[in-house]
Chain A
Amino acid sequence: MRQNSAAWERAAEVHEAAQGWLRAGAIDEPTEHAIREAFPDPCITPSAVWRVLTACVVAAVIAFTFEAFSIAFRPSEIGHQVLLFLFAGASLASADLLEASPRFARRGAAGAASFLGVGFLLAGFGLFLVDTLHMRPDDAIDAILIASFLAWAAACRRWGSPLFAALSAVALFLFLGRLPYGRVLWALVGAALAGVAARRLDEASWAPSHRRAAAVLVVAGVVAAYAAVNVYSLEAHLLEDLGRIAARRIVASRGLIVLAALATAVVPLAVLASGARSRRTFLLDSGIVLLALSLVTLRHYVHIAPLWAMLTLSGAALVVLALAVERALRRAREGDIAGFTADPLFSDERRQHALQIVPVVAAFTSAAPGPAAEEKDFAGGGGKFGGGGAGEKF
């Protein structure tokens, strides 16, 4: 990443923190203005709406232009590869130019151009392997996954997008899953990746976006390691299915299954403990998700109670747990327990509320019955019922 870009990102971090302080009423507007003056950020930083809109339109422009060239020149197999590489080069060069400009660096255009640039590069490389070198599909997939891992990692290093770090990690683990002892590699490399990336989370010499990419890699490593040791994944050969077409499935021994069952219980707790000790909420969130997956795994093997009872009880338990935690934190002498508080601190509550509307509406709104249905004679249970998540099937 350019030194300038890293410096701009650091200033933006300070501005964002100052905006949070202002929103919470901890500082006044003149102080916030003084902070802006002390840490000048020459970049124009539009809101997320503008960035997403710009990224979508840039992606459409590049895609339409590529299609126009494809149709106009009707290239041969090799010509098609050349066109893909040309577009990759042009997109990546544009992304680099845009990133260097304070006017355009944070508008979303650079992100879209770099994403499509790497996409074109990988597509061109894939066609080159299959059409020109006539590589076997399995070998070509391996080569594309390695190239994908390297390309996304290089893009993350250059432009600092955490999304690219995630894509690089996905490519790496898909490749490892195809090797002999892929499951062992997932566990070992996952743990190693999480450990190495965790050491860089607070690295002052790294740009903020690189630190966020490190956080993504920690999560990717933890998830990979958990997927490798989860007992259901072991018994169902989920990772082995990623392997080559002719790969053998080895039935796990009883001892290994017991070990995996233990690991399925222990790993989420270890992640939760690590999150609580380091006070990193993304680790706590990952631990909660893994714990939920472990409980689902437990339910798969041990039918403690009917599904409806499990759902109702776990839902009630979650509500009670959340309320108990919130009440304990509220009643704590200094408003916090071991550094955790239920206060919003400097986060944007209004934005969180606005974002909350989308999943609630998506999850609980019923399907549209259609006006035609109103005219039908009623046949019990035959229509679509249910406002707000209520179903018609009773």
Chain B
Amino acid sequence: MNPDVVSAIARLRAENILSSGQAALFDRVARRQLVSVRLEIRVLLYVGVLLLTSGVGLLVTEHHREIGPWAIAGGIGLAAAACLVWVIRKAAPFSWGEVQSPNVAFDYVLLLGLLLFASDLAYVEVQFTVLGPNWAHHLLVVGAVYLVAAYVWDSRTVLGLALTTLAAWRGVSISLISGSLWAADAGRLRGSALTLGTLYVAAAALSVLLRRKVHFEEVFANTGLLVLFGALVSGVLDDGSTWGWWLAALLAVAGLVMWLSFHLGRSLYFAQAVVAGYIGLVRLFFEPFLYGRDGSSLPFLLAALLGLGVLALIFAAHRRMKER
């Protein structure tokens, strides 16, 4: 029971702010006489899909010689097709607006079908070398299929998968901690990341401007900004001589994103820009002291002062931003 809400409902009913029907339902929920297990059902489905795909992967790894490549490829393909046929039969008609899932299992069966399809494609590529030296392009195929599926069946989860798979095709891992943007071929990777990030942000803008799946905007823009800022910050933190140019680009992009997100009322975009800009400026403060023999407290003090300035900016932006 939530005693604060229970007593509030009684008072709101007594003051006629709530009707007796409303108060009865709210009271039942606040007293935990009616509890939703929707989240638990979703988590069970997600873990189920995770275990199923892991089991299939392990089966193929351990027994591919005994089962044979055709049987494996056919089996996984059939399972994927079964899932996708079920999805097609259950799906609501296509719309450029937001479409509600017909039931709680829909998103997970779609996810399972697409993951099995991706596994099958990867297996076929390894066994039969269909794409030959261009084997990495199978990620492009998978990403494109995910992208189409996300639009056809209106799934933000699948769209997220599509964007990260397409990034992986260009060699960019969304998990920056894996250090891909600091790898030996970092310059080329950063170039890919900048292009992809810009494309994703442009797709977010087009979604809104053309009113085509407007609710996809946040997935496009957040992934795009993460990739874009990841590339710029990695350039700033690089040891090379070009870090100053990267810093200038980072500050320009961060400033632009802050300004745009402030007017659009998007706090997450604003936060990404603030963090990226702050990291870039901290690098600037530390640069003159990097090669000194004794550590100086000045860059730390400047970084702390800059932090106070950033706090003031955050408070001011929050006060004025009309969040959506």
Contacts and interface: CB of A to CB of B under 8 A. Distances in A.
Interface residues of B, number: 127
Contacts of A247: none
Contact of B174 (A17, A53, A356, A361): A361
Interface stretch (A160-168, A183-191, A281-289): A281-289
B163 to A, nearest CB: 8
A380 interface: yes
Contact of B121 (A49, A367, A387): A387
B37 A281 contact: yes
A372 B38 CA distance: 45
Given A61-B308, A308-B59, A312-B51, 8 more contacts: A49-B268, A281-B40, A315-B50, A317-B48, A318-B47, A347-B38, A370-B171, A390-B115
A44 B316 CA distance: 13
Interface stretch (B27-35, B204-212, B237-245): B27-35
A359 interface: yes
A259 interface: no
Q: Which of A38, A60, A368, A372 has the most CB of B within 10 A?
A: A368
A365 B307 CA distance: 34
Interface in A331-389: 336, 339-347, 352-354, 356-374, 376-378, 380-381, 383, 385-389
Interface string B126-141: 1101011111111101
Given A308-B55, A387-B122, A360 B157 contact: yes
Given A368-B168, A383-B135, A362 B175 contact: yes
**Residue in B60, B125, B218 whose Cβ sees the most chain A Cβ within 10 Å:** B125
A357 B219 contact: yes
Given A57-B314, A362-B175, A280 B55 contact: no
A54 B314 contact: yes
A31 to B, nearest CB: 6
A372 B185 contact: yes
A21 interface: yes
Query: What secondary structure prevails in chain B residues at the interface with A?
Result: helix
B8 A17 contact: yes
Contact of A17 (B30, B41, B137, B267): B30
Given A311-B52, A367-B178, A378-B132, A344 B189 contact: no
Contacts of B275: 53, 56
Nearest to A337: B37
15 contacts: A13-B8, A17-B8, A46-B318, A50-B318, A64-B303, A64-B304, A67-B297, A203-B3, A309-B59, A356-B46, A357-B219, A373-B171, A377-B133, A390-B120, A390-B142
A interface, over-half SS: helix
Given A61-B307, A64-B307, A71 B58 contact: no
Interface residues of A, number: 115
Nearest to A12: B4
Given A14-B8, A68-B301, A389-B119, A367 B168 contact: yes
Contacts of B66: none
A288 B40 contact: yes
A338 B296 CA distance: 66
B48 A318 contact: yes
A318 B105 CA distance: 12
A352 B4 contact: no
A347 B278 CA distance: 35
A26 B56 CA distance: 44
A278 B111 CA distance: 34
A281 to B, nearest CB: 6
B83 to A, nearest CB: 11
A370 B314 CA distance: 37
Q: Which of A58, A208, A313, A366 has the most CB of B within 10 A?
A: A366
A284 B192 CA distance: 45
A322 B298 CA distance: 58
A69 interface: yes
B111 A368 contact: no
A235 to B, nearest CB: 26
A132 interface: no
B231 interface: no
B77 interface: no
A4 interface: no
Contacts of A388: 114-115, 118-119, 142, 146, 161, 165
A372 B8 CA distance: 63
Contacts of B315: 107
A50 B314 contact: yes
Contacts of A253: none
A314 to B, nearest CB: 5
B322 interface: no
